[in-house]
Amino acid sequence: MMRGTMSIALLLAAPAAAIAAPTTAKPAAAATAGGALAPTPGVPVRRITLSPEGRAIAARIIGTPDPRLKEIQAEMTTIRQQKAQLIAGATVDVEKLEPLLRREEALQGEMRTRQNDRLLSLLRALPEADRVALLHSMANPARPDGAKAPAPATPGH
């Protein structure tokens, strides 16, 4: 997946972990208290501060997992296993591999479309200030500790 799409996927997959009110509690305690997954050590987490109204809207729109996404992920796992079996042989039957690749491509497209639809629904429903906060966070993802921001592009170089 592309980096921006991955951010969206992560945002939609764990909305309670990504969208939270400012808190003075420890991050792990806050994440588990909200019912979300605890942050993975070493993985940067950016908390998006939304208004109480924005949090309620986000919980309503993206708080409930899309059951079709789980089905897509399960089918993609099966396809990956089938591809691994085909590739493990002494010769690779391209005629058997092609339909697997085409199906995987279709599933990836469907997943992106469903995630984008949910994101657009959320953006349309959020108040302007919350919409801006969410979009800024997506445009500037969290970086691992010690990682530098990319240098700005200079004209002519």
Question: At 19, phi and psi to the nearest 5?
Answer: -115, 115
pTM over 0.85? The answer is no
Mark the ranges of the chain whose per-residue pLDDT is less than 50. 1-10, 12-38
Which amino acid would we find at residue 20?
Answer: A
Q: What is the pLDDT of residue 52?
A: 92
Q: What is the pLDDT of residue 70?
A: 94
Distance CA 118, CA 9 (A): 10
Rounded to 5 degrees, what angle do the CA atoms 78, 80, 82 make?
Answer: 70
Q: What is the pLDDT of residue 30?
A: 35
Q: What is the pLDDT of residue 48?
A: 74
Three-class DSSP category at 157: coil
Closest CA to 130 of 28, 58, 36, 44: 58
Distance CA 57, CA 63 (A): 9
Q: What is the pLDDT of residue 63?
A: 87
Q: What is the pLDDT of residue 28?
A: 36
CB 50 within 8 A of CB 130: yes
